[in-house]
Amino acid sequence: MTSGTLTALVAAGFLAAVDGAAVLRGNRAGERVAKPAVMACLILAVLLGDPAAAPVRWLLVAALAASLAGDWLLLPPGRFTAGLVAFLVAHLAYLVIFLSGPLASNGLLIGLVAAAIVMVTVGRVILAGAASTGERLPVAIYLVVISTMAIAATGSGSAIAAIGAWLFVASDAMLGWDRFVATPAVTAGADARRRLLVMVTYHSAQLVLTIAILRLTP
């Protein structure tokens, strides 16, 4: 990694902490700045890398840019379906990245088992809740795509990539649970803590995935 890439990654981590503090304090204005700034720094980290790096890194830029669009769309008041589509594009880009390299059968099996457990437990309940709002189909498609991405990441042979992918699954599972299953938070503080968990796992996932893919590509 170049010094510019490392600096941008550190900046992304710092801004993620700033965003977390804004969420916890209910500072919507701070959130609107810090949340997309995290993704902008991750995109910059990739662009500041070795210009002779593998072309697959442009897929990483596409994944991060789609995520940035999703972040903007989900900022309050939020456009859920549009945000879902943006993140669907991001996961497809991540999936192509992992499919472009060698995959280990044992890793794929572990990922498949983990995905099956998630789908028959948390995923099944989220889908039932989404059905009540008429959003079952887009949520089902999203769950299949993100699970497939996580399976491929687990099969890539990179423990870092697998951790990042499953952190993404955990973040989206919590987001889906809060939207379609959980009862509304009783207090503003409780709501902030729920959202903080979603954001911490989300930003950790994006940071870890970026590092993993930068390490995987020469």
Instruction: Report pLDDT for 217.
Output: 67
Domain ranges of the chain: 3-216
Instruction: Report pLDDT for 56.
Output: 84
Question: What secondary structure, in 3-state letters, does 97-139 show?
Answer: HHHCCCCCHHHHHHHHHHHHHHHHHHHHHHHHHHHCCCCHHHH
pLDDT single digits (tens) 50-108: 766 677 889 999 999 999 999 999 887 778 899 999 999 999 999 999 999 899 999 99
